Chains A and B, each alone.
Chain A
């Protein structure tokens, strides 16, 4: 398990791809349905750039600080 958790709400995701493009560690991909999906959680550094740039509030990063 990685240090962090990433929760995606597929129903809120509109498949814009911003989270995938700006993740510095290529943790996220768009799945077959075009929704954001976690592919490589081990690599997550908890920067939360995906969460703060998600226009749809569809991503939540949890982790070390119990957030």
Chain B
């Protein structure tokens, strides 16, 4: 059995609960492969999730894990990172959990630039709760709460967290799983808030309602609609129509929140000592 499977997954929880052809499993594969390549020890990693299909990762991933309230994974992760800054903290969230219910937490965690790696599995739907549309469901798509198509535009999460101050921002897809693994590895090694959006297929909650009948159709859609940042720079507006960008959007250095906090704490303690 491959090391990333035998070392980092709870084998007694397999087969996992995700539907046949679910993109979350492919993205989790990219996460554990990236961790295996970086050689992190299980005890040095904590994975925090909220609620939703992607958050069920915690049932099968074998690190220190805790599953929290809907949308609040980043808040719990922030508390954990502040108390244990030496730990590698990873949040795995979905589009409903991370951009809808927990959108406010996401922008503020990005703004603080705390050293947490967030993987947002974007399948464009609230899958686990029954296929309601999320803030990342593309306009016009059918959902259980949008029988004639959603009427709202959706967020570009990478642009949002970039504007909020994240110091590493990237997007990949389940189809481009090898590239996604590389982006996740860079995010994990980044010191500061890192964010990777993984476009995933939800064949049951999204695909069936939107003329993408199989997981293969949905992966082909990702292949046909994703364009790398480098290729997009050379493409004409016609070639870019309907496409979305994949690759690394931001990779920069800035003061990290727990570093700043513990430095301030150290200085305050020094002042108290001197005063005595």
Taking Cβ atoms with an 8 Å cutoff, the residues of A that contact B are: 11-18, 21-22, 51-58, 60, 67
Contacts and interface: CB of A to CB of B under 8 A. Distances in A.
Contacts of B33: 52
A12 B15 contact: yes
B1 interface: yes
Given A55-B25, A56-B16, A18 B9 contact: no
B29 A14 contact: no
A31 B22 CA distance: 21
A52 B26 contact: yes
A53 B15 contact: no
15 contacts: A12-B14, A16-B214, A18-B216, A22-B216, A52-B29, A52-B33, A53-B175, A54-B25, A54-B29, A55-B22, A55-B26, A56-B15, A57-B5, A57-B14, A67-B2
Q: Is the interface of A mostly helix, strand, loop or mixed?
A: loop
Interface in B1-36: 1-2, 5, 9, 14-16, 18-26, 29-30, 33
A13 B16 CA distance: 10
Interface hub of A11, A15, A56, A58 (most chain B Cβ within 10 A)? A56
Contacts of A22: 216, 219
A12 B16 CA distance: 8
Which 8 A/B pairs are nearest by Cβ-Cβ distance?
A55-B25, A16-B21, A14-B20, A16-B20, A21-B216, A12-B15, A52-B177, A16-B215
